[in-house]
Amino acid sequence: MDELKAVNMMLESIGEAPISTLVTTGLSDGAIAKRVLESTNTEVQAKKWYFNTEYNYPLTPTLDNEVTIPLNTLFIDADIGDYTKRGTRLYDKSTHSYTITEALTATITLELPFDELPITCQVYVVTKASRIFQERVLGSPHLSQQLRADEEEARIALIMFDSDMSDDNMLTDTTFISEILER
């Protein structure tokens, strides 16, 4: 599925005619739908799914002794040290600077382009975005209730897909084990 098809599905959910291009301006329903789709896509991907999270992601300092992170980074957690994302650079909270001289690895969650998402995620994003779009444009409680039910069904399918893909196991999942040990 591409973004145009997703936007047209959102327009269809409120009974509007499809558009032929994503080049929309102003306050047209197509432009509003596209913005809602984009923000919903970011919000959904920020939940750190298996398909958009990289483990042991290598981060190497530049010649200026700074680590530049990918522009589409939503979340980053260095495997060792106390670092955080600030803009497009990694910030060392222990030294209060951007100076990082050694290579690191991190768990990093990336915002993927819509057309690179698994279909279950695309369906969830479109369904959730359709509900939000409808509530902003029409505000129909009945339609909102129907879309909310569809959204929940799509969310469950995405969670099941993510669980199947990640092969999580409470005996081998280090995150699960560390959470138990912390308690």
Residues 160 and 148: their CA atoms lie apart, in Å, by 18
pLDDT in the model for residue 167: 72
Task: Give the pTM.
Answer: 0.85
Q: Where are the domains of the chain?
A: 3-46+113-182, 53-110
HSE at residue 170, side-chain half, CA atoms within 13 A, is 3
Reported as a single tens digit per residue, the pLDDT across 110-130 is 999 999 999 999 999 999 999
50-103 per-position pLDDT tens digit: 999 999 999 999 999 999 999 999 999 999 999 999 999 999 999 999 999 999
Annotate 106-152 with DSSP letters as a single string.
Answer: EEEEE---GGGS-HHHHHHHHHHHHHHHHHHHT--HHHHHHHHHHHH
Average pLDDT, the chain: 91
Q: Coil, strand, or helix at residue 49?
A: coil
Helix (H) or strand (E) run with residue 56 in it: strand 53-59
Report pLDDT digits (tens) over 7-19: 999 999 999 999 9
Q: What is the mean pLDDT of residues 35-45?
A: 97
Give the model's pLDDT for residue 72.
96
